[in-house]
Amino acid sequence: NDIIFNILGKNPTDDYLDGMMNEAPGPINFTMFLTLFGERLQGTDPEDVIKNAFGCFDEDNNGVLNEERLRELLTSMGDRFTDDEVDEMYREAPIKNGLFDYVEFTRILKHGAKDKDEQ
């Protein structure tokens, strides 16, 4: 996950990471990692931090990423994710017409999914 830290402009110590990992209620997946890291950042809005991490790959700056391109990035760069880990992330992700809506995904991470009545 070094690439995510680099994108976020952070260079955490091992103690910091150990503390963050100890806060996790179970195994760390991508969603849990983003949530824990976002909660521990001081002086920034965690939603903005997460959106900015995804936004680094959004060449059109339109709030969505091609889901296959994102899978390729997550499984080939930095501390690589497995296809199963990407599948797990995509299970709850707002994906329409092959586009991963990272703005909405970030909102879901921080505030939960909207009820059907709210949509």
What pLDDT, in 10s, does the model give residues 93-107? 899 999 999 999 888
Residue 98 φ/ψ region, left for φ over 0, alpha for ψ in the -120 to 50 degree band, beta for the rest: left
Q: What does pTM read for this prediction? A: 0.60
pLDDT of residue 44: 54
**pLDDT tier, 9 (very low <50, low <70, confident <90, very high otherwise):** low
User: Any idea which residue has 């700056």 for tokens?
Assistant: 61
Count of domains for the chain: 1
**pLDDT tier, 45 (very low <50, low <70, confident <90, very high otherwise):** low
Residue-number span of the structural domain to which 82 is assigned: 2-118
CATH number of domain containing 29: 1.10.238.10
